[in-house]
Structure 1
Amino acid sequence: MKTVIEPLLIFDRIQELYKHLGIAVDIDIAQKFNIYNMGNLYNPKTYESSVYRGNFFSFVFVKDARGKFISDNEQYDIAPRTIFFNTPGHIKKFRIKDARDLYLLTFTECFLKENVHSQIFEEFPFLLAESILSQVVPEEKFEEFEELYMQIEKAFFSESPYRNKLIAHLFVALLIKIKDNFLTDNIIPSYESCRASEIVNKFKIIIEQHYRDLGNGSNEKAHRVTEYAEILNLHPNYLNNVIKSKTGKSVGNWIAEKTISEAKALLKNSNIPVKEISYRLGFSEIQHFSTYFKKHTQYTPVLYRQIG
């Protein structure tokens, strides 16, 4: 019998996944942070996804639901009081039934850097982890998480002018609780030890540190693919193949996204002149930077700063 291979779907936004599942959710597509309780839709229906790659960070808090979740080659049970976290790029598939209470939080790197702080990955390095973080927690611990994500939901649906800042502050508290409860001597996520995953982990750390250095002015030259490969003692083609196969994005795509993410953070959270930001991010001419930024955001740097 011939094996049927499912096509790999790519979802850049959580809204695309909801649409794939046939879930009508009224969420602004421009949102860089979303929270939703699938229990609001509760009925006997089972939700089953195709194989997909999600290009966003996600936390899942399962209070009352059951099913199976596959991330890359690992399978996990969806059961009451389970907390999941994973990063963009994983190949996933899930089947959820009896979803009476299951909260899904998704967010982008831009949200973190614009509303939390630019050093977010240094404070919470597990956000760069290549493997999934999953744990069933005791009832009293889960209630502590529940209190926090319910506050986040309240802030998310509020009309406060400080809405994003409220979400960000509560989200930091959530990250601290994750760090405190998951990353102890007794509960450590099982990071993959294979060579490809080690390369991805190192690459993520190196590129994050490099853009942090560019942003604060301690480094004046933006790396290209060849320079990342040299740091990792790899051939550029091999590095690109590994990164693309494991994350779904080439090294060039990572560089482009990091450049835009850092530019947005600097434009929104600093008074550094656009010309200086352009120089720090490796553009010899401000016009080149402006054209590049507009291509990826539909805004010029000046206009983005004004509306931010």
Structure 2
Amino acid sequence: MAAFLSVENLYKNIHTDQPAPVLAVTGHFDVLKLEDLHIPQPHPYNRRDYYKISLVTGHSFIHYARQTFEIRESALVFTNPMLPYQWERKSEEQRGYVCVFTEAFFNQFLPIKQYPVFQQPAYAVLPLTSDEADRFESLFLQLKAELQSDYAYKDDFVRTQVLNLIHLAQKMQPAGNPTGVATNATERLATLFTDLLDRQFPIENNDQRLSLHTAASFAEPLGVHVNYLNRAVKEVTNKTTSQWIAEKIILEARYLLTHTSWTITDIAWSLGFEEANHFSAFFKKHTQQTPNQFRKLAPV
């Protein structure tokens, strides 16, 4: 099974005597100083079983499967459990705060994974000016102080403050419709397609297999002609259905090659390929490496 890094493993790398907070609700929440975290370099390219909101100052790079973001000064970074990433520090001095929580902590609100900052890397890394960084730092300090208080309803207060932080960040994003909320039939169809695509992942064991991996296979359960689906997705997202599918398969393939001992044949089958050589050709077309080459060179 493809492993997730757990909250417990995170706390093994914390250099502080301060105990983790105990809240009245199911789910975990904490605010940590970045300086107290011992983060191995290179930072593992992996999935976690928790969400993070990080306020960081210092030169670094964040690597996703197909995108890299550079942080030169300060930035707010949102990471979710499903999207593996690697954090590469470039400057020795790194400071800031990390807000760590599980999805269960927000079970009384809109599902946390539906917020745009946790959906796409393009919305997840928000560069900040010095004044903006100071503003967000004050929010992190308020959260950290509240965790140590004896207020009977502090769990509700903390949740509300985190949502306030998320909304402030989203309001700073460029204008447009990054939320994916459909406003007409074409947008609704594109949203249904991407939701159906996302629900197939992650691949957690080698008995699991993608059942939908072509535009035509998605059109059938969506009840539309494949040509209409292709037009709708291209019009709304500016990417083809084939590009969406390929990117998700490549992202999952990179993860499975790096973090499981499955054979190439097993990975190919799980990702919907009938033959391992077809998967190898597909992978090389999109990454310029064969699966074996990627596996040998991938950071662990």
Query: Please, what TM-score do these two structures have when normalized by structure 2?
Result: 0.53
Query: SS at the partner of 1:102?
Result: strand
Q: Is it true that 1:37 corresponds to 2:33 in the alignment?
A: yes
- Does the 8 Å CA contact 2:54/2:96 hold for their aligned counterparts? yes
1:81 and 2:74 correspond: yes
* Paired residue total: 202
Task: State the match for 2:119 in structure 1.
Answer: 129
Write the mapping of 1:263-282 to structure 2, written as runs, cut at 5 A: none
In 2, the alpha carbon distance for the partners of 1:205 and 1:139 equals: 36
1:89–1:248 contact (8 Å) kept in structure 2: no
Cα 1:74–1:38 change in 2 (3 A) is same
- What is the correspondence of 1:1-308 to structure 2 with a 5 Å cutoff? 10-13=4-7, 15-19=8-12, 22-25=13-16, 26-27=19-20, 32-40=28-36, 47-62=41-56, 64-96=57-89, 97-114=91-108, 117=109, 119-120=110-111, 125-127=115-117, 129-132=119-122, 133-185=124-176, 201-203=194-196, 231-232=221-222, 245=252
CA contact (8 A) 1:58 1:86 kept: yes
Once residues 41 and 11 of structure 1 are traced to their aligned partners in structure 2, the CA distance between those partners, rounded to angstroms, is 15
Using a 3 Å threshold, how does the CA distance of structure 1 residues 231 and 175 change in structure 2: closer, same or farther?
Answer: farther
User: Structure 1 residue 60: deviation in Å?
Assistant: 1.3
For residue 52 of structure 1, what is the amino acid of its counterpart? N
Paired residue for 1:269? none
| Counterpart in the other structure of 2:234 | none
Note closer, same or farther for the CA distance 1:183–1:35 as it changes in structure 2 (3 Å cut): farther
* C-alpha deviation, 1:180, in angstroms: 1.0
Give me the TM-score of the superposition, normalised by structure 1: 0.52
Matches of 1:156 and 1:134 in 2, distance apart? 26
Secondary structure class of the residue paired with 1:10: coil
Mapped to 2, the partners of 1:205 and 1:183 lie a distance apart of 24
Task: Describe the superposition over 1:80-136 as per-residue Cα deviations: whole angstroms up to 9, x where unpaired.
Answer: 22111122211222233434422111222211123xx2x3559x6315524351121
| Percentage identity across paired residues of the two chains | 13
Q: Which amino acid aligns with 1:182?
A: Q
Q: Which amino acid aligns with 1:245?
A: E
CA distance in 1, matches of 2:139, 2:37: 22
Larger relative contact order (Cα-Cα within 8 Å, sequence gap ≥ 6): 2
Aligned residue for 1:61, secondary structure, equals strand
Two-structure CA RMSD over aligned residues (Å): 4.4
Provide closer, same or farther for how the CA distance between residues 181 and 142 of structure 1 changes in structure 2, counting only shifts above 3 A: same
Q: 1:57 touches 1:108 (CA, 8 Å); kept in 2?
A: yes
SS of 2:14's equivalent?
Answer: coil
Distance 1:153 1:201, change over 3 A: farther
Structure 1 segments unaligned to the other structure (5+ residues): 1-7, 190-196, 208-224, 250-308
SS in 2 for 1:179: helix
- Which structure has greater strand proportion? 1
- Find the aligned partners of 1:46 and 1:16 in 2 and give their Cα distance: 13
Gaps of 5+ in 2: 180-189, 201-209, 212-217, 225-244, 257-300
